[in-house]
Chain A
């Protein structure tokens, strides 16, 4: 069974750096065909994809936020750390980490499926 849990500050001031940790179980980020992503959701609004890190340490970021984001993994601790610099009130929202899943078949090999397990999310408020 895969579980993920986000942790970090729930209140940050404008211009500060947000650091969130995703602690997971049920899989290893040192195993091939695995990823962990971050997605956020402003109150009452849509999901926004932010970043993903893969088992091979490949990292991808949102185009619009790329300069502010960093994602790293610590496979020994089963954790992924996400940072966003220069926080602004518009960055207020629930931040989720999620397991990026693959299917492995003889016909097609390893093929991505989607985010099949999610943490409960952490509500981050940006306010002075």
Chain B
């Protein structure tokens, strides 16, 4: 089974500053036939279900602000919030869907410094 490991577990960032979350897959998740990495990123605010932010490692879901960006390929991926806003306080999860069983990372909690 593929294991997803996120780092850090939590981070505190000042408003307007950059937040960077890392996600490492135990196996390659690049689907060679279409050159897409099967990685999604979700945001979960307190008391709410997760919300899809990014898919194929770097494609923003419709309606997601452009301060959210995803990058990486193969086994190493990053979610970046370029200028943290108060409404971005949440737990962020990566997910691999390259092969079942699908797996989520353990989550990264983003707070305001």
**What is the interface of chain A, defined by CB distance below 8 A to chain B?**
37, 39, 46-49, 52, 60-63, 96, 98, 101, 108, 111-116, 118-121
Contacts and interface: CB of A to CB of B under 8 A. Distances in A.
Contact of B103 (A49, A61, A114, A120): A49
Contacts of B38: 112
Interface of A is mostly: strand
A96 B49 contact: yes
Closest 7 A-B residue pairs measured CB to CB?
Answer: A114-B40, A118-B49, A60-B100, A113-B55, A47-B104, A49-B102, A108-B34
A112 B97 contact: yes
Contacts of A111: 34, 36, 56
Interface string B70-113: 00000000000000000000000101010011111111000000
Contacts of A39: 50, 104
A116 B49 contact: no
A46 B101 contact: no
A59 to B, nearest CB: 10
B17 interface: no
Contacts of B61: 113-114, 116
Contact of A60 (B1, B34, B101): B101
A119 B50 CA distance: 9
A39 B68 CA distance: 24
B19 interface: no
B40 A46 contact: no
A46 to B, nearest CB: 5
A116 B101 contact: no
A49 B104 contact: yes
A2 B44 CA distance: 19
Contacts of A37: 102
16 contacts: A46-B104, A47-B42, A47-B93, A47-B107, A60-B100, A61-B100, A62-B101, A63-B101, A96-B50, A111-B34, A113-B40, A113-B52, A113-B59, A116-B61, A118-B49, A118-B51
B93 A46 contact: yes
Contacts of A49: 95, 101-104
A116 B52 contact: yes
